[in-house]
Amino acid sequence: MFSAADILLWRQKQLSGAIFVSASVIWLLFERIGYHLLPFLCHFLILTLAILFLWSNLSSFVNRSPPKFPDIRLSQEICDAIALIVMDQINRACLYLREMTTGRDLKRFMSVYIFLVII
């Protein structure tokens, strides 16, 4: 395994160079060209999806093994726990909004109002 010191001190020249080049390209895209993070992530995922699709379908023609995708299964307990957490957060947000709109806390109401006006 590589340590962070090996990468920072350029002991692993190829890995350090790849990290430097990729960071420079990302900086160039975001800072100079004005590209944003969300379209970048979407385009990266689309490109990855297309490459994996082509690799899966063309692997039989070039006598290579197709990519092995892990079999991911979520248990009912995990899904129930996530649903309860999300439901709790939504209920808290609704309670916060209800308390804010009833007019009991003028300071909170005005801070949210000013925030929305600024946005």
Q: Could you write out the three-class secondary structure of 25-85?
A: HHHHHHHHCCCCHHHHHHHHHHHHHHHHHHHHHHCCCCCCCCCCCCCCCCCHHHHHHHHHH
| Between 43 and 102, residue with greater pLDDT | 43
State pLDDT tens for residues 15-31. 889 999 999 988 888 88
Checking if the pLDDT of 115 tops 80, the result is yes
The pLDDT value given to residue 53:
87
The overall pTM is greater than 0.85 = no
pLDDT, mean over the chain: 85
